[in-house]
A and B are shown apart, each in its own frame.
Chain A
Amino acid sequence: MTCWRFDIRRDLFKYVDEALTLPACERIERHLMDCADCRDQVERLRNAQDLIAELPLQTPEDERWIAIRRAVRSSPSQPVAAPIPSLFAKPFRFAAVGMLALGTVGLVTLVTFNSLNRESFTSRLTAFTSEQPREFTPVPISRVGEVSAPHIVTEGYVVDMKIDEDDGDYTFKLVDDKNDPNHFVVCEIIEPITIARPQPGSKVRVYGVSRFDNKPNHKWQEVHPVLGIETVHP
């Protein structure tokens, strides 16, 4: 293309895509009357536009609806975001029952999680379980890989926070001991789940889905996606 009217050439796409104002269109069209190069370029852009616009919306052969329903039924709604009003009502309706269960749950958690920071963890855990309709299996960081339950809650210090430049996902490591970075789980906050990012160095409790990342350069245990975060110590 040899036309030197860069101001015109820059707007040829918008002209083809009908994204210019009427005066701008008229300016382009006046130029096109005298410029074969730009007319040729407009023709090419229109051809490309026509060809891609011919691509139809497609319908999947297997829409996977049954699998979707099954997964949604067996997984929790978000414990993080404020639920809709009708869901709000349930925990309060069962508050009395929850209070009665508190002692039992507290006893179970004390026995089960002897390797964690027990006092604060168990008391907060029991509070959480008494309010939430979903079950998250409590597990210390060092044993995340040993549990088969997909939904877990674990607790530790926030280190190595990163943002994925491609998709904006937010990851951090959760460690038992800030001075021992070798024992960790990677926690990933993904779109569209909106969770406030924890402070670096703070102690938090993370609720989410446990999985093992088997990529060659990873090979680590993850909480992915993170479904909720509670701050234990800022």
Chain B
Amino acid sequence: MFVANRPMSSPKRTTLSEAELVQAACQGEETAQRAIFERFRDRVYSLAIYSLGDETLAEDILQSVFIKVFQALPTFRFESELGTWIYRIAINECHDQRRRAKMNLVALESIIGSDAEIDGTPGLDVRQVERERGVKVQRAILKMSPKLRDVLILRYVEELSYEEISQVLDLSMGTVASRLNRALVDLERRLKALQVTP
């Protein structure tokens, strides 16, 4: 019985090891492919949506990432975690998408509204306040440079370790720590300007 114990793996118990799943998926077994997809679907989608700020684009990224994953799975040599490999594909897809669409805040505002529209007003219930706070945090992240944004999402949304982030982004762990430092300071400055507090 395989029990995932790393942040990138599913907390669910499964009867197949990752290697067995990969091998079965390479042989075209849909249940194995589906299991890999379900294990990483929300993680890839969340990475895309927080990176791009657009649900439809994030679904497009999800689709293209897993097509590439299953097409290239026979080349996967277990030199890294499967999750690390999938994250690398996802990060590259997000980069490509940003290049293609030249993503900017116009697209974001069309989706989550302008600052004025999402400002909290007295009398809102707690869940709505939290939701609006989340939107503001997301907005602040989207205004950051992609390099800082990526590292922040991987660390605090996807909950990867420094080592895993260094593998996904092909950076040294020192660079990861340095970027995280700059990213968090940058985020704090932006949130302060928006008067967002926990």
Chain A positions within 8 Å of B, measured between CB atoms, are: 13-14, 16-17, 19, 44-45, 47-65, 67-69, 71-72, 75-78, 80-81, 83-84, 86-87, 166-169, 190-194, 215
From the candidates A75, A80, A169, name the one contacting B67 in the complex (CB within 8 A).
Answer: A75
Report the minimum CB–CB distance from A178 to chain B (whole Å).
Answer: 30
Q: A44-B192, A47-B198 are in contact. Are A58 and B42 (CB under 8 A)?
A: yes
B162 contacts which chain A residues (CB < 8 A)?
Answer: 19
Identify A45's interface contact among B23, B33, B63, B184, CB under 8 A: B184
Interface core residue of A61, A75, A166, A215 (most chain B CB under 10 Å): A166
- Contact B157–A55 (Cβ < 8 Å): yes
Q: CB distance A64 to B59 under 8 Å? A: yes
- Name the one of B67, B180, B187, B196 contacting A68, with C-beta atoms under 8 angstroms: B67
**A48-B188, A64-B66 are known contacts; what are 4 more A-B pairs with Cβ within 8 Å?**
A45-B184, A65-B37, A192-B85, A193-B75
Asked if B188 contacts A45 (CB within 8 A), the reply is: yes
Judged by a CB distance under 8 angstroms, whether B26 is at the interface is yes
Interface of A is mostly: loop
Q: Which residue of B lies closest to A81 (CB)?
A: B75
| Chain B interface, number of residues (Cβ within 8 angstroms) | 61
Whether A87 contacts B74 in the complex (CB less than 8 A), given A55-B138, A166-B99, A167-B96, comes out as yes
Known contacts A57-B42, A193-B72; A68/B37 CB under 8 A: yes
Bound: A190/B65 CA distance, A: 12
B34 contacts A65, C-beta separation under 8 Å: yes
Q: List 16 A-B contacts (CB under 8 A).
A: A13-B185, A14-B177, A17-B180, A51-B191, A51-B196, A57-B42, A61-B59, A72-B33, A75-B67, A84-B27, A87-B74, A166-B95, A166-B99, A167-B92, A191-B92, A215-B100
